[in-house]
């Protein structure tokens, strides 16, 4: 019998997160204060984040314990399955062994609750009453809304206007969890009003929605803090639960990957899967090739500069050294596949600079083509973001067919696409172009 699915028992769920920062060969450049351009201190972040989260952002400990109440919620869907894609292999006629780690089993349908849950937990413990955030496609907003419902926090979401209009179901999900959702740009903040004054028909951007959410937290008189779903060191650390589980699952499978692939928007699901394998490599284990897949229409890692830039459009956030297309970047309107952020996580960017991470940009029609192939062979419709990882995994497997190498490929299937069927419908109608 061929084993397809590697399921860890509940008792084997990892109980710590892995922090790569102390292991980075060249360290990590500090974030800079937006006013003084001096390195920021923990105190500078206090208006934005709960104390424990700030400590994690600056932490140099290799491991951080996962709190019991967070583990209890993780256990509702974790450990997530590692699946051998036998049918996809067969379809491609490749000698490669293809595995995927499936994060779409979470209630919100993606990996994002892995960080939303601890962010809500620590904020509640710090006496916060409300979390503000932005969302693009709606994945992060629905994950944080769910986390806030668990911990009895109010949740205020600024949703990029174009998605607010095109994705009513994600908005409905957030409202079901109790969040209040405003289209961004909105009249609720100065950043939003300025954007509307410049262009009353502005469809918004992630960078602008971040400005609004940060401003709403800063002007809340201390009642609200801000929450970010990617990019930060602490977010990447929370996501390492994915790769730590995968390590245990590869041991069950008696196999080990040569190539680890993830779709990279801000870099968190890719890093969450990849960093525990990189740790193994640092500790003398096998070398793994880590590949971040990004859209050709928002190519921060492959074409951005490695520079200090703001995380948002209005310049309210600290500056981070990262691969960036510039904080005023707006992805072209033809782009349907998510992953629209102008920057990349500083950790992923630093690893790219020293070639421990490779990057590949893939055009959206090729991504949807791979997503459809994957759905027809494995039965799961990937989120548009995740199709970027599927595309690169398929390309690697096809290369193995040509060279005859039986490489082991694992990719992060970061979410399902059940709320994104319009993008697939548009793809079938030939409305998506590169």
Least separation in angstroms between residue 266's CB and ligand PLP is 4
Residue 324 touches ligand PLP, criterion: CB under 6 A = no
Least separation in angstroms between residue 289's CB and ligand PLP is 18
Contact residue for ligand PLP among 266, 343, 346, 371 (CB under 6 A): 266
Q: Are strands 259-263 and 289-295 parallel, antiparallel or unpaired?
A: parallel
Residue 118 touches ligand PLP, criterion: CB under 6 A = no
Give 263 or 400: the residue with its C-beta nearer to ligand PLP: 263
Residue 265 touches ligand PLP, criterion: CB under 6 A = yes
Distance between CA atoms of residues 262 and 294, nearest Å: 9
For 142, 174, 235, 241, the CA distances from 124, given in Å and listed in that order, are 18, 19, 17, 22
Q: What is the DSSP string of 56-121?
A: HHH---SEEEPPHHHHHHHTTTPSPPEEE-HHHHHHHT-SSEEEEEE-TTSTTSBSTHHHHHHHHH
Least separation in angstroms between residue 95's CB and ligand PLP is 28
Across 229-345, the runs of DSSP E, i.e. the strands, are 259-263, 289-295, 305-310, 319-324
Percent helix, strand, coil in the chain, to 5, is 40, 20, 40
- Residues between 64 and 103 with contacts to ligand PLP, criterion CB under 6 A: none
Residue 385 touches ligand PLP, criterion: CB under 6 A = yes
Interaction mask 403-422, ligand PLP, x per CB under 6 A = -----------xx-------
Q: Are 133 and 142 in contact (CB under 8 A)?
A: no
- Residues between 349 and 378 with contacts to ligand PLP, criterion CB under 6 A: none
Find the part of the chain contacting ligand PLP (CB under 6 A) among 82-90, 125-133, 267-275, 368-376: 267-275
Residue 133 touches ligand PLP, criterion: CB under 6 A = no
Q: Are 28 and 346 in contact (CB under 8 A)?
A: yes
Residue 264 touches ligand PLP, criterion: CB under 6 A = yes
Residue 139 touches ligand PLP, criterion: CB under 6 A = yes
Q: Say whether 340 sits in a helix, a strand or coil.
A: coil
Least separation in angstroms between residue 385's CB and ligand PLP is 3
Q: How many residues at the interface with ligand PLP, by CB under 6 A?
A: 19
Give 356 or 400: the residue with its C-beta nearer to ligand PLP: 356
Contact residue for ligand PLP among 71, 263, 320, 351 (CB under 6 A): 263
163: number of Cβ within 10 Å: 24
- Residues between 171 and 230 with contacts to ligand PLP, criterion CB under 6 A: 230
Find the part of the chain contacting ligand PLP (CB under 6 A) among 31-39, 45-53, 174-182, 265-273: 265-273
Find the part of the chain contacting ligand PLP (CB under 6 A) among 26-34, 69-77, 145-153, 379-387: 379-387
Find the part of the chain contacting ligand PLP (CB under 6 A) among 83-91, 310-318, 322-330, 380-388: 380-388
| Phi, psi of 399, deg, nearest 5 | -60, -40
Distance between CA atoms of residues 347 and 29, nearest Å: 9
409: number of Cβ within 10 Å: 26
Q: What is the DSSP string of 1-27?
A: ----EE---GGG---EEE--GGG-TT-
Give 94 or 104: the residue with its C-beta nearer to ligand PLP: 104
Q: Are 337 and 383 in contact (CB under 8 A)?
A: no
Q: Which two tokens stand for residue 305?
A: 């500069």
**Site of interaction with ligand PLP (CB under 6 A):** 110, 112, 139-140, 230, 263-270, 339, 383, 385-386, 414-415
């Amino acid at each position: 019998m061929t084993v397809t699915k590697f399921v860890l028992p509940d008792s084997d769920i990892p109980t710590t997160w892995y922090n790569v920062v102390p292991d980075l060969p060249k360290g990590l450049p500090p974030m800079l204060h937006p006013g003084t351009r001096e390195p920021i201190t923990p105190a500078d972040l206090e208006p934005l984040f709960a104390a424990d989260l700030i400590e994690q952002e600056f932490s140099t400990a290799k491991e951080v314990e996962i709190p019991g109440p967070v583990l209890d919620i993780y256990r509702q869907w974790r450990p997530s399955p590692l699946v051998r894609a036998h049918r996809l292999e067969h379809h491609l006629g490749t000698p490669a062994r293809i595995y995927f780690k499936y994060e779409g089993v979470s209630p919100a349908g993606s990996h994002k609750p892995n960080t939303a849950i601890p962010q809500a937990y620590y904020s509640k413990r710090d006496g916060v009453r409300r979390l503000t955030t932005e969302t693009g496609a709606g994945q992060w907003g629905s994950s944080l809304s769910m986390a806030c419902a668990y911990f009895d926090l109010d949740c205020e979401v600024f949703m990029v206007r174009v998605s607010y209009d095109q994705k009513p179901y994600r908005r409905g999900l957030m409202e079901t969890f109790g969040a209040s959702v405003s289209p961004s740009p909105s009249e609720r903040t100065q950043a939003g009003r300025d954007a509307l004054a410049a262009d009353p028909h502005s469809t918004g951007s992630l960078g602008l929605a971040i400005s609004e959410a940060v401003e709403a937290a800063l002007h809340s008189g201390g009642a609200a803090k801000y929450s970010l779903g990617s990019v930060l060191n602490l977010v990447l650390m929370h996501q390492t639960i994915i790769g730590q589980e995968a390590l245990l699952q590869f041991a069950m499978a008696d196999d080990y990957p040569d190539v680890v692939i993830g779709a990279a928007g801000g870099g968190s699901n890719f890093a969450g899967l990849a960093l525990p394998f990189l740790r193994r490599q640092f500790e003398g284990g096998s070398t793994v090739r880590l590949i971040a897949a990004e859209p050709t229409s928002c190519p921060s890692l492959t074409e951005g500069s490695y520079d200090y830039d703001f995380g948002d459009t209005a310049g309210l956030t600290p500056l981070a050294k990262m691969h960036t297309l510039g904080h005023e970047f707006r992805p072209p309107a033809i782009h349907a596949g998510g992953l629209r952020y102008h920057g990349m996580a500083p950790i992923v960017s630093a690893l790219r600079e020293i070639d421990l991470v490779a990057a590949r940009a893939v055009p959206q029609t090729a991504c949807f083509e791979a997503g459809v192939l994957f759905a027809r062979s494995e039965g799961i419709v990937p989120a548009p973001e995740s199709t970027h990882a599927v595309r690169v995994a398929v390309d690697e497997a096809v290369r193995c067919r040509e060279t005859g190498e039986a490489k082991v490929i694992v990719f992060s299937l970061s979410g399902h696409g059940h709320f994104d069927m319009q993008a697939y419908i548009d793809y079938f109608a030939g409305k998506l172009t590169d």
